[in-house]
Copies of this chain bind each other. A is one copy, B any other.
Amino acid sequence: MGESMVLDVARLRRGCAQCSLQQLCLPAGIGAQDLQRLDEIVRRRRPVERGERLFRPGDALSAVYVARDGAFKTVSISEDGEEQVVGFHLPGELIGLDALGAGEHRCEAVALTIANVCEVPFDLLAEVASQLPSLQQQLLRVIGQSVGRDQDHLGMLVRRQANERIALFLHGLAERFRNIGESGTQFKLPMSREDIARYLGLALETVSRGFTRLQDDGVIAVVGRRVEILDAEELACLAHGGDSDEAAERRSRRA
Protein backbone atom coordinates (compact mmCIF):
# COMPACT_ATOMS: atom_id res chain seq x y z
CA MET A 1 0.00 0.00 0.00
CA GLY A 2 2.83 2.37 0.88
CA GLU A 3 4.45 1.39 -2.41
CA SER A 4 1.42 2.13 -4.57
CA MET A 5 1.17 5.55 -2.95
CA VAL A 6 4.74 6.27 -3.97
CA LEU A 7 4.00 5.15 -7.50
CA ASP A 8 0.96 7.42 -7.69
CA VAL A 9 2.90 10.43 -6.55
CA ALA A 10 5.65 9.63 -9.01
CA ARG A 11 3.11 9.44 -11.82
CA LEU A 12 1.68 12.82 -10.90
CA ARG A 13 5.14 14.28 -11.02
CA ARG A 14 6.00 12.73 -14.31
CA GLY A 15 3.85 15.21 -16.13
CA CYS A 16 2.70 15.45 -19.72
CA ALA A 17 4.45 12.33 -20.99
CA GLN A 18 2.28 10.14 -18.78
CA CYS A 19 -0.87 12.23 -18.79
CA SER A 20 -3.97 10.44 -19.99
CA LEU A 21 -5.02 13.60 -21.79
CA GLN A 22 -1.89 13.74 -23.88
CA GLN A 23 -3.70 13.14 -27.13
CA LEU A 24 -6.26 15.86 -26.51
CA CYS A 25 -4.18 18.53 -24.93
CA LEU A 26 -1.25 20.61 -26.09
CA PRO A 27 1.22 17.69 -26.32
CA ALA A 28 -0.70 15.95 -29.11
CA GLY A 29 1.47 15.27 -32.10
CA ILE A 30 4.68 16.38 -30.44
CA GLY A 31 7.85 14.29 -30.34
CA ALA A 32 9.43 12.97 -27.16
CA GLN A 33 12.27 15.47 -26.81
CA ASP A 34 10.08 18.41 -27.68
CA LEU A 35 7.49 17.19 -25.23
CA GLN A 36 10.01 17.61 -22.49
CA ARG A 37 10.48 21.27 -23.34
CA LEU A 38 6.74 21.81 -23.02
CA ASP A 39 6.63 19.80 -19.85
CA GLU A 40 9.29 21.97 -18.24
CA ILE A 41 7.19 25.11 -18.43
CA VAL A 42 3.95 23.53 -17.18
CA ARG A 43 3.23 24.24 -13.54
CA ARG A 44 1.05 21.75 -11.73
CA ARG A 45 -1.17 23.46 -9.20
CA ARG A 46 -2.42 22.08 -5.96
CA PRO A 47 -6.03 20.89 -6.28
CA VAL A 48 -8.45 23.80 -6.53
CA GLU A 49 -11.60 23.81 -4.42
CA ARG A 50 -15.09 23.92 -5.80
CA GLY A 51 -15.97 27.58 -6.34
CA GLU A 52 -12.33 28.70 -6.57
CA ARG A 53 -11.41 31.02 -9.44
CA LEU A 54 -8.47 30.67 -11.81
CA PHE A 55 -8.79 34.27 -12.89
CA ARG A 56 -11.22 37.17 -12.79
CA PRO A 57 -12.32 39.74 -15.34
CA GLY A 58 -9.59 42.35 -15.77
CA ASP A 59 -6.75 40.04 -14.70
CA ALA A 60 -3.79 40.20 -17.04
CA LEU A 61 -3.24 37.20 -19.28
CA SER A 62 -0.50 35.41 -17.39
CA ALA A 63 -1.26 31.80 -18.16
CA VAL A 64 -3.62 29.41 -19.86
CA TYR A 65 -5.02 26.47 -17.95
CA VAL A 66 -6.05 22.90 -18.61
CA ALA A 67 -7.98 20.78 -16.14
CA ARG A 68 -6.58 17.29 -15.66
CA ASP A 69 -9.82 16.27 -13.99
CA GLY A 70 -12.91 18.04 -12.69
CA ALA A 71 -14.73 20.77 -14.53
CA PHE A 72 -14.85 24.54 -14.86
CA LYS A 73 -17.21 27.18 -16.14
CA THR A 74 -16.28 30.53 -17.61
CA VAL A 75 -18.66 33.33 -16.80
CA SER A 76 -18.87 36.78 -18.27
CA ILE A 77 -20.48 39.41 -16.12
CA SER A 78 -22.31 42.18 -17.91
CA GLU A 79 -22.34 45.70 -16.54
CA ASP A 80 -25.79 45.22 -15.06
CA GLY A 81 -24.49 42.31 -13.01
CA GLU A 82 -26.09 39.54 -15.06
CA GLU A 83 -23.92 36.46 -15.29
CA GLN A 84 -23.70 34.74 -18.65
CA VAL A 85 -22.10 31.29 -18.70
CA VAL A 86 -19.81 31.39 -21.71
CA GLY A 87 -18.60 27.82 -21.59
CA PHE A 88 -18.03 24.66 -19.63
CA HIS A 89 -14.58 23.11 -19.65
CA LEU A 90 -13.88 19.43 -19.27
CA PRO A 91 -10.41 17.93 -18.84
CA GLY A 92 -8.12 18.67 -21.78
CA GLU A 93 -9.98 21.78 -22.90
CA LEU A 94 -7.99 25.00 -22.75
CA ILE A 95 -9.17 27.71 -20.38
CA GLY A 96 -8.19 31.36 -20.53
CA LEU A 97 -8.14 32.12 -24.24
CA ASP A 98 -10.66 34.90 -23.73
CA ALA A 99 -7.73 37.17 -22.86
CA LEU A 100 -5.88 36.69 -26.16
CA GLY A 101 -7.48 39.71 -27.76
CA ALA A 102 -7.00 42.49 -25.25
CA GLY A 103 -4.34 40.92 -23.02
CA GLU A 104 -6.68 40.79 -20.09
CA HIS A 105 -9.45 38.39 -19.15
CA ARG A 106 -13.05 39.22 -19.97
CA CYS A 107 -14.45 36.30 -18.02
CA GLU A 108 -13.91 34.56 -14.75
CA ALA A 109 -13.14 30.84 -14.59
CA VAL A 110 -14.77 29.03 -11.68
CA ALA A 111 -14.19 25.44 -10.60
CA LEU A 112 -17.43 23.44 -10.58
CA THR A 113 -15.79 20.56 -8.72
CA ILE A 114 -12.53 19.92 -6.95
CA ALA A 115 -10.04 19.83 -9.78
CA ASN A 116 -6.41 19.52 -10.73
CA VAL A 117 -5.13 22.09 -13.17
CA CYS A 118 -2.07 22.51 -15.28
CA GLU A 119 -1.02 26.12 -15.54
CA VAL A 120 0.95 27.13 -18.60
CA PRO A 121 2.61 30.56 -18.37
CA PHE A 122 1.61 32.26 -21.55
CA ASP A 123 4.82 34.06 -22.41
CA LEU A 124 6.83 30.86 -22.06
CA LEU A 125 4.26 28.95 -24.09
CA ALA A 126 4.47 31.51 -26.89
CA GLU A 127 8.24 31.39 -26.77
CA VAL A 128 8.49 27.62 -26.92
CA ALA A 129 5.77 27.48 -29.57
CA SER A 130 7.77 29.79 -31.82
CA GLN A 131 10.66 27.33 -31.60
CA LEU A 132 8.62 24.17 -32.07
CA PRO A 133 6.48 24.26 -35.22
CA SER A 134 4.54 21.20 -34.12
CA LEU A 135 3.60 22.89 -30.85
CA GLN A 136 2.64 26.08 -32.67
CA GLN A 137 0.43 24.02 -34.92
CA GLN A 138 -1.16 22.19 -32.03
CA LEU A 139 -1.68 25.44 -30.15
CA LEU A 140 -3.53 26.90 -33.10
CA ARG A 141 -5.56 23.71 -33.40
CA VAL A 142 -6.57 23.75 -29.75
CA ILE A 143 -7.51 27.43 -30.06
CA GLY A 144 -9.48 26.57 -33.15
CA GLN A 145 -11.34 23.81 -31.33
CA SER A 146 -12.26 26.27 -28.66
CA VAL A 147 -13.56 28.65 -31.33
CA GLY A 148 -15.52 25.73 -32.74
CA ARG A 149 -17.13 25.01 -29.38
CA ASP A 150 -18.10 28.66 -29.09
CA GLN A 151 -19.75 28.45 -32.48
CA ASP A 152 -21.59 25.31 -31.48
CA HIS A 153 -22.74 27.16 -28.41
CA LEU A 154 -23.99 29.95 -30.62
CA GLY A 155 -25.86 27.54 -32.85
CA MET A 156 -27.41 26.12 -29.73
CA LEU A 157 -28.89 29.43 -28.72
CA VAL A 158 -30.12 30.96 -31.89
CA ARG A 159 -33.55 30.22 -33.19
CA ARG A 160 -33.86 26.97 -31.28
CA GLN A 161 -36.52 26.40 -28.74
CA ALA A 162 -35.96 25.38 -25.17
CA ASN A 163 -36.35 21.61 -25.61
CA GLU A 164 -34.02 21.57 -28.58
CA ARG A 165 -31.37 23.54 -26.71
CA ILE A 166 -31.51 21.15 -23.80
CA ALA A 167 -31.33 18.06 -26.00
CA LEU A 168 -28.43 19.59 -27.90
CA PHE A 169 -26.68 20.42 -24.67
CA LEU A 170 -26.95 16.90 -23.31
CA HIS A 171 -26.02 15.39 -26.64
CA GLY A 172 -22.89 17.54 -26.92
CA LEU A 173 -21.89 16.96 -23.34
CA ALA A 174 -22.22 13.20 -23.75
CA GLU A 175 -19.95 13.35 -26.75
CA ARG A 176 -17.35 15.35 -24.86
CA PHE A 177 -17.44 12.86 -21.99
CA ARG A 178 -16.88 10.05 -24.46
CA ASN A 179 -13.94 11.94 -25.95
CA ILE A 180 -12.12 11.99 -22.65
CA GLY A 181 -12.75 8.31 -22.11
CA GLU A 182 -15.70 8.52 -19.75
CA SER A 183 -19.13 7.06 -20.23
CA GLY A 184 -21.27 8.97 -22.68
CA THR A 185 -24.46 7.32 -21.49
CA GLN A 186 -24.23 7.77 -17.75
CA PHE A 187 -22.65 10.74 -16.03
CA LYS A 188 -22.95 13.27 -13.27
CA LEU A 189 -23.51 16.85 -14.37
CA PRO A 190 -20.83 19.03 -12.81
CA MET A 191 -23.01 22.12 -13.09
CA SER A 192 -26.28 23.28 -11.52
CA ARG A 193 -29.57 23.82 -13.34
CA GLU A 194 -28.95 27.52 -13.00
CA ASP A 195 -25.57 27.24 -14.72
CA ILE A 196 -27.17 25.30 -17.54
CA ALA A 197 -29.91 27.89 -17.80
CA ARG A 198 -27.39 30.72 -17.98
CA TYR A 199 -25.46 28.78 -20.58
CA LEU A 200 -28.52 28.08 -22.72
CA GLY A 201 -30.11 31.45 -22.26
CA LEU A 202 -33.20 30.05 -20.53
CA ALA A 203 -34.89 30.42 -17.18
CA LEU A 204 -33.80 27.72 -14.75
CA GLU A 205 -37.40 26.55 -14.40
CA THR A 206 -37.47 25.94 -18.12
CA VAL A 207 -34.37 23.78 -17.91
CA SER A 208 -35.92 21.79 -15.10
CA ARG A 209 -39.11 21.28 -17.09
CA GLY A 210 -37.08 20.26 -20.12
CA PHE A 211 -35.30 17.54 -18.16
CA THR A 212 -38.57 16.25 -16.81
CA ARG A 213 -40.08 16.17 -20.25
CA LEU A 214 -37.12 14.25 -21.68
CA GLN A 215 -37.54 11.81 -18.84
CA ASP A 216 -41.27 11.45 -19.41
CA ASP A 217 -40.54 10.73 -23.05
CA GLY A 218 -38.19 7.95 -22.04
CA VAL A 219 -35.14 9.61 -23.60
CA ILE A 220 -33.18 10.06 -20.39
CA ALA A 221 -33.39 9.20 -16.72
CA VAL A 222 -32.56 12.02 -14.32
CA VAL A 223 -32.11 12.08 -10.59
CA GLY A 224 -30.73 15.43 -9.54
CA ARG A 225 -27.41 15.69 -11.32
CA ARG A 226 -27.17 12.05 -12.29
CA VAL A 227 -28.16 11.58 -15.91
CA GLU A 228 -28.52 8.41 -17.92
CA ILE A 229 -29.16 8.57 -21.62
CA LEU A 230 -31.63 5.85 -22.51
CA ASP A 231 -32.25 6.62 -26.15
CA ALA A 232 -29.26 8.33 -27.71
CA GLU A 233 -30.75 8.18 -31.18
CA GLU A 234 -33.92 9.94 -30.14
CA LEU A 235 -31.87 12.51 -28.24
CA ALA A 236 -29.83 13.26 -31.34
CA CYS A 237 -33.04 13.59 -33.31
CA LEU A 238 -34.55 16.03 -30.84
CA ALA A 239 -31.29 17.96 -30.82
CA HIS A 240 -31.61 18.55 -34.53
CA GLY A 241 -35.11 19.88 -34.28
CA GLY A 242 -37.03 16.71 -35.01
CA ASP A 243 -39.83 15.61 -32.75
CA SER A 244 -40.17 12.00 -33.72
CA ASP A 245 -43.35 9.94 -33.79
CA GLU A 246 -41.72 7.73 -31.23
CA ALA A 247 -41.77 10.42 -28.56
CA ALA A 248 -45.21 11.65 -29.51
CA GLU A 249 -46.48 8.12 -29.23
CA ARG A 250 -44.94 7.63 -25.82
CA ARG A 251 -46.53 10.85 -24.65
CA SER A 252 -49.97 9.93 -25.93
CA ARG A 253 -49.74 6.52 -24.30
CA ARG A 254 -49.33 8.20 -20.94
CA ALA A 255 -52.25 10.57 -21.48
Contacts and interface: CB of A to CB of B under 8 A. Distances in A.
Contact of A157 (B101, B145, B201): B201
B147 A147 contact: yes
Interface residues of A, number: 44
A217 to B, nearest CB: 20
A101 B154 contact: no
A153 B102 CA distance: 17
A58 interface: no
Interface stretch (A15-23, A46-54, A126-134): A126-134
A151 B76 contact: yes
Given A84-B154, A157-B158, A159-B84, A137 B148 contact: no
A150 B151 contact: yes
A78 B164 CA distance: 13
Given A84-B155, A98-B144, A157-B158, 9 more contacts: A76-B151, A97-B144, A98-B151, A101-B141, A102-B145, A147-B150, A153-B154, A157-B157, A159-B198
Which 9 A/B pairs are nearest by Cβ-Cβ distance?
A100-B144, A101-B144, A158-B201, A101-B145, A101-B148, A159-B201, A150-B150, A157-B157, A130-B130
